[in-house]
Amino acid sequence: MTPNPILGCGIGLRFQHIDQILAEKPPIPWLEILADNYLTPGSVQQDYALEIAEYYPVTLHGVGMSLGASDPFNETYFQRLKALADRIQPAWISDHLCWTSAHGWVSHDLLPLPYTEATIKHVVQRIREAQDRLERRLVIENVSSYLQYQQSSLTEWEFITAVAEEADCKILLDVNNIYVSAFNHDFDPCKYLDSIPIERVQQFHLAGYEDKGTHLLDTHGAKVSDPVWGLYALALKRFGALPTLIEWDNQIPSLEELLAETHKAMETQIYAFA
């Protein structure tokens, strides 16, 4: 089974929309399946994911690999993820360049890493191991952050570039996360974009944030903001019209409102190359 091509702007598959999607089969270019919610064999959730994959091109997106952690990988997690991928045949599997667990404790949050040469070496080894386990090349995503480590000796863009190059993986460039972190840590988001190697970027994410005054909070609970649309237009000009996904995980809107955001993304692509 050959994975269907991923083109245009898709949406994240959410439980609230599954029945409507399967009943109406709207013209969605592709769907990103949050893998962690569909890993249990024989579950209703996994059956839904398998059915969706019969009609739409899909990718698998995870939050549970904990690529930056020091704990051994969760054997059951990887076995189930590989089994699901083997059945669904996603175009690719992505997860985050962060850590989510330590000493058996799971944070349920995407925690940033110190940007050091030692961390690069550690994460590269972990990504290579993950790729070997899954027998697939990974796509790693930059996370939004609200703190920095005193030990960091590199910029975030230098760090993610080095990891991707040395692990020979791809990058999921989350444009919203770049903007949020740039505001929170006072760096130039355009310099971030200009420093990422074009050939490494596989996909874009777009999402909404909440302005807390002193900082921006990446909530995935609102429409994409105007500044992020502007940064996305710049990303398109540098990297091309790569597959783009609208993430909306909280205060989930109607399917129609979500698809309206994908139409805006496609319009932004048109204007970026006009």
Position 224 pLDDT exceeds 50: yes
Provide CB contacts within 8 A for 233, sequence distance 6+: 268, 271, 272
Q: Measured between alpha carbons, how far is residue 240 from residues 4, 87, 194, 202, 209 in Å? A: 20, 31, 13, 10, 24
Q: Residue ranges of the alpha helices (H) in 240-274?
A: 255-272
Dihedral sign for Cα atoms in the order 120, 126, 129, 133: negative
Burial class (CB in 10 A: 0-12, 13-18, 19+), 92: buried
pLDDT at 22: 98
Q: Comparing 209 with 103, which gets the higher pLDDT?
A: 209
Q: What domains appear along the chain, each with residue ranges and CATH number?
A: 9-272 (3.20.20.150)
At residue 72, the 3 state secondary structure works out as: coil
Burial class (CB in 10 A: 0-12, 13-18, 19+), 94: buried
Strands (E) in the chain, as ranges, are 9-12, 31-34, 58-61, 93-96, 99-102, 105-111, 138-141, 170-174, 201-206, 209-211, 216-218, 244-246
pLDDT, tens digit (0-9, with 9 covering 90-100), for 39-50: 999 999 999 999
pLDDT at 1: 47
Banded pLDDT at 273 (limits 50, 70, 90): confident
Backbone angles phi, psi at 175, to 5 degrees: -70, -40
Q: Measured between alpha carbons, how far is residue 255 from residues 11, 18, 183 in Å? A: 9, 10, 30
pLDDT at 102: 54
Burial class (CB in 10 A: 0-12, 13-18, 19+), 87: middle
Position 5 pLDDT exceeds 90: no
Residue 121 to residue 162: CA distance in whole angstroms: 9
CB atoms within 10 A of CB 49: 25
- Average pLDDT on 102-127 reads 83
- Average pLDDT on 163-184 reads 98
Question: Residue 138 has which token pair?
Answer: 């990974």
Q: What angle do CA 113, 119, 120 make, to 5 degrees?
A: 110
Provide CB contacts within 8 A for 195, sequence distance 6+: 155, 157, 158, 161
